[in-house]
């Protein structure tokens, strides 16, 4: 089954002479259970694609289907029960005055779960944080621990699809691999579908089976990770990206 199908997605910001076409005619298909990478330099439109899917951009056109169902303008609770997003910066995405318990309780209640206590315990365990973290505030957590909380919050509604926007690029290099390994394990255990945005081909080569390369708002090439490893990229821009990150890919 197809988890995500995007057809001719256009997203723009501003009007008239100020108009910025951030995403231009992007189409891609992500199969259920696949880990799909979206790579490209900063400003190429990667985050905007994810934000269009989750309903966070005001002006867009095109077709977005989730599990075969075409999305309208509004995202309802059912959508967020299926699709969750993890943002780049766990410092910004967690409210400074909410404990881990409050963050997770809020989302669990929103989605109508009753066994909140046991779910919080299990979520914390699932992301490698013990019960001792439950009543901490974000400032009492390291960057990696915060991102684990953000991942727990995303997992709370039991989604089938995670949109991961550079989930490790705000973290120290030493904890990046831990978070990537956690995400890999979670996907394997739960059969989740991932779309992972990264400017780092090493990360995407490690995590993803299929990769779309974006440049100036367009997908310029789509290739399998095997071809990427063998440097069988057709498009000059993709080859340029590969050349400049050869060491991390191999």
Which of ligand ADP, Mg ion, none interacts with 174 (beta carbon under 5 to 8 A by kind)? none
Element (H, E) at 47: helix 46-53
DSSP of 147-176: HHHHHHHHHTT--SEEEEESTTTTS-HHHH
Q: Which is nearer to ligand ADP, 119 or 199 (CB)?
A: 199
Give the residue ranges of DSSP H helices in 94-217.
100-110, 116-126, 143-155, 173-190, 201-207
Residue nearest to Mg ion (CB): 47
CA 11 → CA 50, 114, 131, distances in Å? 11, 39, 42
**Cα–Cα dist 86/9, whole Å:** 21
Would you say 46 or 206 has its CB closer to ligand ADP? 46
Closer of 43 and 209 to Mg ion (Cβ):
43
Residues 88, 91: Cα–Cα separation, whole Å: 9
174 belongs to the binding site for ligand ADP (CB under 6 A)? no
Q: Which is nearer to ligand ADP, 25 or 109 (CB)?
A: 25
Would you count residue 157 as binding ligand ADP (CB under 6 A)?
no
Q: Which of residues 20-59 bind Mg ion (CB under 5 A)?
A: 47
Q: Write down how long the chain is.
A: 250
According to the binding rule CB under 6 A, does residue 168 interact with ligand ADP? no
Closer to ligand ADP at the Cβ: 103 or 214?
A: 214
Site string for ligand ADP, 11-50 (x = CB under 6 A): --x------x-x-----------------x-xxxxxxx--
CB of 202 to Mg ion, least distance (A): 17
Q: How far is the CB of 41 from Mg ion (least distance, A)?
A: 10
Residue 44's binding partner out of ligand ADP, Mg ion, none, with CB under 5 to 8 Å set by partner kind? ligand ADP
Q: Which residues are within 8 A (CB) of 236 and not within 5 positions of it... i.e. 6 or more apart?
A: none
Residue 43, classified by CB atoms within 10 Å of its CB into exposed (0-12), middle (13-18) or buried (19+), is: middle
Token pair, residue 8, equals 């001719």
Q: Which residues bind ligand ADP (CB under 6 A)?
A: 13, 20, 22, 40, 42-48
Q: Which residues bind Mg ion (CB under 5 A)?
A: 47
């Amino acid at each position: 089954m197809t988890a995500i199908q995007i057809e001719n997605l256009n997203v723009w910001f501003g009007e008239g002479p100020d108009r910025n076409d951030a995403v231009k005619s992007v189409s891609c298909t992500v199969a259920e259970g696949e880990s799909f990478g979206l790579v490209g330099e900063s400003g190429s439109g990667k985050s905007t694609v994810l934000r269009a899917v989750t309903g966070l951009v005001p002006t867009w056109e095109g077709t977005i289907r989730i599990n075969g169902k075409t999305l309208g303008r509004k995202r309802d609770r059912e959508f967020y029960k299926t699709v969750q997003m993890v943002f780049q910066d766990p410092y910004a995405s967690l409210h400074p005055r909410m404990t881990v318990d409050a963050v997770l309780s809020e989302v669990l209640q929103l989605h109508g779960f009753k066994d909140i206590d046991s779910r919080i315990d299990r979520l914390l365990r699932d992301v490698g944080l013990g019960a001792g973290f439950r009543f901490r505030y974000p400032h009492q957590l390291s960057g990696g621990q915060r991102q684990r909380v953000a991942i727990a919050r995303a997992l709370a509604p039991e989604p089938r699809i995670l949109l991961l926007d550079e989930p490790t690029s705000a973290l120290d290099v030493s904890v990046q691999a831990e978070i990537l390994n956690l995400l890999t394990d979670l996907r394997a255990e739960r059969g989740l579908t991932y779309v992972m945005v990264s400017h780092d081909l090493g990360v995407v080569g490690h995590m993803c089976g299929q990769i779309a390369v974006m440049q100036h708002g367009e997908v310029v090439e789509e290739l399998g990770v095997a071809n990427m490893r063998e440097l069988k990229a057709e498009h000059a821009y993709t080859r340029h990206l590969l050349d400049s990150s050869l060491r991390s890919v191999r």
